């Protein structure tokens, strides 16, 4: 079952009773609302005047709910995660930490190839120049020593949006603001799935910056970025004002965990597909498989 994403942009008091999330609005004359905790996959907290009880935090963590906090710029900046995400966590940590360099290079090759193939399919769907990307997706070698990922990314962003002055970087002009927010949500979904599969999100197969607590999440989310790009492209094509990341735009981007994707020839919500991807990854670390399951953008 797909889990729900709840967003709180106004002051609220969040507590729990009878396995329910109880939502109270102290500054408004509204009746309390309730939501089953077992149905919640992600909780996004934006307003600084939101209070959570310790009892609620405990139940959310036990439910493996991703609790995401936002900064002053309204962008997700932190993720609350459990100390124990899986019953076999210790063994799975060991498998991950002991993974050989050839295995990690092979996994990164699969990841980059899947990412570029999805980028090519997205450009094709939009009637853009995709042939180079389609070729490069099949030319990625172990460890991507020729850096096809960066070469493909440059071509992809040059051809996707027909917006004067646009280039993809964090502080660039819109729709970079939408992409930043969408990728932050995707990162939280990925980290949640990795923890639930009993792995350390900070130990990557390629990304390894010592200041990055979510290096593995940044690795595994790469082929999924296309679904954020697809949603942002649709928003831009409507002519909606995207200069400011308002509540309406955030509500659109918060649909990301529930987006339909094709994985292993089956349609699945993105959050569920991500769990399949992370489970396949831990099987690779355990020596049970050599292939990561990634979605195919169609």
Q: What is the mean pLDDT of the chain?
A: 94
Q: Which CATH superfamily is domain 4-80 in?
A: CRISPR-associated endonuclease Cas1, N-terminal domain (3.100.10.20)
Residue 207, marked binder? yes
Contact 288, 104 (CB under 8 A): no
**Spans of all domains in the chain:** 4-80, 89-285
CA–CA gap between residue 213 and residue 264 (Å, rounded): 29
- Written out in words, the top-level CATH class of the domain with range 89-285 is mainly alpha
Hey, what are 250's tokens?
């955030």
Cα–Cα distance list, 84 to 81, 88, 211, 212 (Å)? 9, 9, 22, 20
Q: Count the Cβ atoms, other than its own, within 10 Å of residue 216.
A: 25
Model confidence pLDDT, tens digit, residues 65-120: 989 999 888 888 888 878 787 889 999 999 999 999 999 999 999 999 999 999 99
Q: From 139, 14, 12, 133, select the one nearest 65 (Cα to Cα).
A: 14
> What pLDDT, on a 0 to 100 scale, did the predictor assign at position 73?
80
Q: Is the peptide bond before 202 cis (omega within 30 degrees of 0)?
A: no
Q: From 282, 255, 284, 258, select the one nearest 270 (Cα to Cα).
A: 258
> What pLDDT, on a 0 to 100 scale, did the predictor assign at position 210?
83
Hey, what are 244's tokens?
């400011």
- Contacts of residue 211, defined as CB under 8 A and 6 or more positions apart, other chains included, come to none
- Is the pLDDT assigned to residue 261 strictly greater than 90? yes
Residue indicated by tokens 């603001």: 177
Q: What percentage of the chain exceeds 70 in pLDDT? A: 99
Residue 222, marked binder? yes
Q: From 17, 20, 77, 25, select the one nearest 46 (Cα to Cα).
A: 77
Helix, strand or coil, per DSSP, at residue 117: helix
Specify the range with the lowest mean pLDDT, choosing from 117-121, 190-194, 277-281: 190-194
Question: Where do runs of H (alpha helix) occur along 197-264?
Answer: 215-220, 225-237, 247-253
- Does 4-80 match 89-285 in CATH topology? no
Q: From 122, 181, 178, select the one nearest 152 (Cα to Cα).
A: 122
CA–CA gap between residue 133 and residue 117 (Å, rounded): 7
- What is the value of pTM for the model shown? 0.91
> Maximum distance among all alpha carbons in the chain?
61
- Is the pLDDT assigned to residue 57 strictly greater than 90? yes
Band (170; pLDDT cuts 50, 70, 90): confident
> What pLDDT, on a 0 to 100 scale, did the predictor assign at position 1?
61
- Is the pLDDT assigned to residue 139 strictly greater than 70? yes
Residue 88, marked binder? no
CA–CA gap between residue 12 and residue 109 (Å, rounded): 45
Q: From 160, 187, 153, select the one nearest 175 (Cα to Cα).
A: 160
Cα–Cα distance list, 123 to 177, 199, 237 (Å)? 21, 33, 14
Helix, strand or coil, per DSSP, at residue 135: helix
Helix, strand or coil, per DSSP, at residue 47: coil
Residue indicated by tokens 């109880």: 22
- Is the pLDDT assigned to residue 262 strictly greater than 70? yes
Q: From 180, 158, 159, 183, select the one nearest 169 (Cα to Cα).
A: 180
């Amino acid at each position: 079952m797909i889990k729900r994403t709840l967003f709180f942009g106004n002051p609220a008091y969040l507590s729990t009773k009878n396995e329910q999330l109880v939502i109270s609005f102290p500054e408004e004359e509204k009746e309390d609302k309730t939501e089953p905790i077992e149905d919640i996959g992600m909780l996004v907290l934006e307003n600084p005047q939101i209070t959570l009880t310790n009892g609620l935090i405990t139940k959310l963590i036990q439910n493996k709910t991703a609790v995401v906090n936002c900064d002053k710029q309204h962008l997700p900046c932190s993720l609350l995660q459990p100390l124990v995400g899986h019953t076999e966590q210790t063994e799975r940590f060991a498998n991950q930490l002991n993974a050989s360099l050839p295995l990690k290079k092979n996994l990164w090759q699969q990841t980059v190839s899947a990412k570029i193939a999805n980028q090519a399919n997205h450009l094709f769907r939009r009637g853009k120049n995709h042939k180079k990307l389609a070729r490069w997706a099949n030319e990625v070698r172990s460890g991507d020593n020729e850096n096809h990922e960066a070469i493909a990314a440059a071509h992809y962003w040059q051809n996707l949006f027909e917006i004067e002055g646009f280039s993809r970087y964090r502080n660039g002009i819109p729709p970079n603001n939408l992409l930043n927010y969408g990728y932050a949500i995707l990162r939280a979904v990925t980290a949640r799935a990795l923890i639930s599969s009993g792995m350390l999100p900070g130990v990557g197969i390629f990304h390894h910056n010592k200041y990055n607590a979510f290096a593995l999440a940044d690795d595994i989310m790469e082929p999924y970025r296309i679904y954020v790009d697809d949603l942002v492209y649709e928003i831009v094509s409507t002519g909606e004002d995207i200069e400011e990341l308002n509540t309406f735009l955030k509500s659109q981007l918060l649909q990301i965990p529930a987006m339909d994707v094709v994985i292993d020839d089956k349609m699945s919500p993105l959050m569920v597909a991500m769990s399949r991807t992370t489970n396949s990854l831990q099987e690779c670390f355990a020596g049970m498989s050599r292939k990561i399951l990634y979605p195919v953008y169609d």
